[in-house]
A and B are shown apart, each in its own frame.
Chain A
Amino acid sequence: KAGVTQTPRYLIKTRGQQVTLSCSPISGHRSVSWYQQTPGQGLQFLFEYFSETQRNKGNFPGRFSGRQFSNSRSEMNVSTLELGDSALYLCASSFVSSATTDTQYFGPGTRLTVL
């Protein structure tokens, strides 16, 4: 079974621009979560989508948004980019079972550099 895929793998943008990142979950997984990883703040939760609805949200400004499609693929968008948005953006998917939580499997990430 193919793993979580993220596109693009690398991206360079300038301040003020916006960016859209894409994530395809493992086949059969219906939950997609996004995380930001930086050297200074570590791994931080952005949001989770399940059944095309945002189920959880982290403590990020409204410039960070996301959505999920009916095939469970997800996109996240960052508007009005700032230098501090430079990070590795990770997507994780999980199969939603009767358990309250399920193992999340991560993709390779998208490395965003803001100049």
Chain B
Amino acid sequence: GESVGLHLPTLSVQEGDNSIINCAYSNSASDYFIWYKQESGKGPQFIIDIRSNMDKRQGQRVTVLLNKTVKHLSLQIAATQPGDSAVYFCAENLGHAGNKLTFGGGTRVLVKP
């Protein structure tokens, strides 16, 4: 995805509600996808990943959905908490190429108490 610089898309969500963050990826040959969370002043933190032979994967309070037909990835966060406020990035990787992540521009999530 393309970076939008300082003007990150922002998702404002009420504490306790569910959040859905969307991402369009660029390479139809990518076979590994990851969601990272980045808080201010910290490095990206791994949330959940999914390989291209799956279309859904669940973790603790998070679910990733993969739609290869339209090259779309989404992250669902259940019962969003104040600690979920951060910038979320999707990333894709070409499996045969080792580790070479291509990141989306990010989405800022703001949780309102």
Contact = CB atoms under 8 A, between A and B. Distances in A.
Nearest to B30: A101
A55 B98 CA distance: 7
Interface of B: 3, 5-6, 31-32, 34, 36, 41-46, 49, 89, 91, 93, 95-106
A101 B32 contact: yes
Contacts of B100: 33, 45, 48, 56, 58
A98 interface: no
Interface stretch (A14-22, A78-86, A105-113): A105-113
Contacts of A43: 44, 89, 91, 101, 103
B98 A109 contact: no
A65 to B, nearest CB: 17
14 contacts: A4-B43, A31-B98, A40-B5, A42-B103, A42-B105, A42-B106, A43-B91, A45-B102, A56-B100, A100-B96, A101-B99, A103-B49, A104-B46, A108-B41
